[in-house]
Amino acid sequence: MSTGKKLRKMVMKYRDRESIEKDIEKAKEEVFKQNKNPEEYEDVVVHGYMVYECRDCGTVYKMWLEKGLEDRVQDKEYPDKHKPVPFGIRCKCGSFNCTHILWGVGDRDEYEALRKGESYFKNDPDQRCGTPVLRKSLRNRQQLLYSQFAEDKE
Ligand SMILES: [Zn+2]
């Protein structure tokens, strides 16, 4: 690659990075402006989640999506900024056989703050794909089902 081309690539990468960071900051301002209990939330803006299940140990993760990842609101406006998340992640048990299940469950087009302790995909400007941050998990699918009903009652 020529030096000019290399330089242009570096500048492009820098611009992408800057615009991702700016987008996230802007969404944070809006979401946290209307947040009543800031101490219950992390400094992260998400829009829904995807469910992942480990085929080896059965553990289920609700993986919240940070703004800019699989982001249909953003994709409509800037399709070239589309950024995916991995189909499979590494479970806490060590297995890589932990994949996206229940497609469509958790789709949400509204931005909100991430509750403390939840698992999520981080939008790291240096990565092409969402980075999994594993924290809270559910024992299995059945526990996920129960937790959904508990949420409905709130
Ligand atoms: Zn596992």
Angle in degrees, CA 110, 113, 118, rounded to 5: 110
pLDDT at 30: 87
Give the count of beta carbons closer than 10 Å to the beta carbon of residue 31: 20
Residue linked to tokens 């969402």: 130
pTM of the entire structure? 0.86
Distance 60 CA to ligand 1 centre (A): 8
Res. 151: pLDDT tops 80: no
CA–CA dist 150, 18 (Å, integer): 40
pLDDT at 36: 75
Distance 55 CA to ligand 1 centre (A): 7
Q: Which residues contact 22 (CB under 8 A, 6 or more apart)?
A: none
pLDDT at 154: 55
Distance 96 CA to ligand 1 centre (A): 8
Distance 93 CA to ligand 1 centre (A): 4
pLDDT top residue among 28 and 12:
28
Question: Domains in the chain: how many in total?
Answer: 1
Kindly report which listed range (8-12, 50-54, 66-70, 77-81) carries the lowest average pLDDT score: 8-12
Instruction: Of 142, 147, 136, 39, give the one whose Cα is nearest residue 92.
Output: 136
Distance 119 CA to ligand 1 centre (A): 15
pLDDT top residue among 153 and 75:
75
Distance 57 CA to ligand 1 centre (A): 4
pLDDT at 43: 92
